[in-house]
């Protein structure tokens, strides 16, 4: 595990963007696993800035996002597809057809999970997966559970997660109750993982996830077993 302490959010964003940038420069056809949430926003901003300066080229990159809410259309500003377009895809030269987010509106969610998992396999797996972390240790939307759910699946979001995400919605009632997420196996099979955590409220869960027992009650704790994990954090 490679632990990198950053001095505040701007520094964290720059350091995380450096890891992604190095990946894309070394392998322009990289498969990037991308994440939503407030933490990666600064990382995307930094990457956009470097793209605009001509330092990084996304034209051959393919992306696969971790998760999406069920029952929300891609045009809905609260959807993760919309988030990715707004915060990243619309500002760089990644080809839209090479960007993938699970379809939360699929009629048959089971089939959508199978399709998404197969898509990742057909791409040859993820080269670098970016992850944030929820206060309960969730990664993607893999919520604390009695076992590690392996592949892409539909989850019932728990109350802490819905409350934490309610800030993006008008009311808590509007926060979807279900989401589709890559599973632990999908994430763990990524060749490299970059976990980012920002703010004093993430210190406790990072401590538990990285240095406590590996348990599905703290989904991120499985990352201790990943052979190429980089964690960039700032608890300021
Ligand atoms: N599904 C996302 C996660 O992928 C993200 O890591 C988490 C933390 O978000 P934030 O970075 O806003 O704390 O929020 C959501 O639940």
- Structural domain span for residue 192: 2-203+210-234
30: CB partners within 8 A, 6+ apart:
23, 24, 61, 62, 127, 128
Interface confidence (ipTM) of the complex:
0.95
Q: Give the dihedral of Cα atoms 69, 73, 78, 84; nearest 10 deg.
A: 90
Residue 149: the pLDDT is 79
Nearest in space to 104 (alpha carbons), one of 134, 82, 85, 127? 82
Q: For residue range 14-39, what is the model confidence (pLDDT) as tens digits?
A: 999 999 999 999 999 999 999 999 99
Nearest CA to ligand 1 atom 15: 37
Give residue 163 CA to ligand 1 midpoint distance, Å.
Answer: 12
C-alpha to C-alpha distances, 234 to 14, 39, 156, 222, nearest whole angstrom: 12, 11, 30, 21
Angle between helices 9-26 and 41-52 (to 10 degrees): 50
Q: How many domains does the chain have?
A: 1
Q: Which of 143, 149, 198, 226 is catalytic?
A: 143
Percent of the chain with pLDDT over 90: 95
Predicted confidence band at 220 (pLDDT cuts at 50, 70, 90)?
very high
* pLDDT value of residue 4: 98
Q: Is 102 in the pocket of ligand 1 (CB under 6 A)?
A: no
CATH number at residue 33: 3.40.50.1360
- Mark whether 142 is an active-site residue: no
Report which ligand 1 atom has the smallest distance to the Cα of 179: 1
Please state the rounded mean pLDDT for residues 213-230.
97
- With beta carbons less than 8 A apart as the criterion, state whether 205 and 133 touch: yes
* 183 Cβ inside 6 Å of ligand 1: no
* Spacing, Cα 186 to ligand 1 middle (Å): 17
């Amino acid at each position: 595990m490679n632990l990198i302490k950053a001095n505040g959010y701007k520094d964290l964003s720059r350091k995380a963007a450096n890891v992604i940038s190095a990946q894309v420069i070394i392998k322009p056809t990289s498969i990037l696993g991308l994440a939503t949430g407030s933490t990666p926003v600064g990382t995307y901003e930094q990457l956009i800035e470097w793209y605009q300066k001509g330092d990084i080229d996304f034209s051959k990159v393919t992306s696969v996002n971790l998760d999406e809410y069920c029952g929300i259309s891609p045009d809905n500003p609260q959807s993760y597809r919309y988030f990715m377009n707004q915060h990243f895809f619309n500002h760089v030269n990644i080809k839209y057809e090479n960007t993938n987010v699970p379809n939360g509106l699929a009629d048959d969610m089971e089939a959508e999970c199978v399709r998404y998992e197969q898509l990742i396999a057909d791409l040859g797996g993820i080269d670098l997966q970016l992850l944030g972390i929820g206060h309960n240790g969730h990664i993607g939307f893999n919520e604390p559970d009695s076992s590690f759910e392996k592949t892409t699946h539909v989850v019932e979001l728990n109350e802490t997660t819905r409350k934490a995400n309610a800030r993006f919605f008008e009311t808590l009632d509007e926060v979807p109750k279900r989401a589709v997420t890559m599973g632990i196996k999908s994430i763990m099979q990524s060749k490299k993982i970059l976990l980012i955590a920002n703010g004093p409220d993430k210190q406790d869960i990072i401590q538990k996830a990285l240095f406590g027992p590996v348990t599905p009650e703290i989904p991120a704790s499985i990352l201790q077993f990943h052979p190429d994990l980089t964690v960039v954090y700032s608890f300021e």
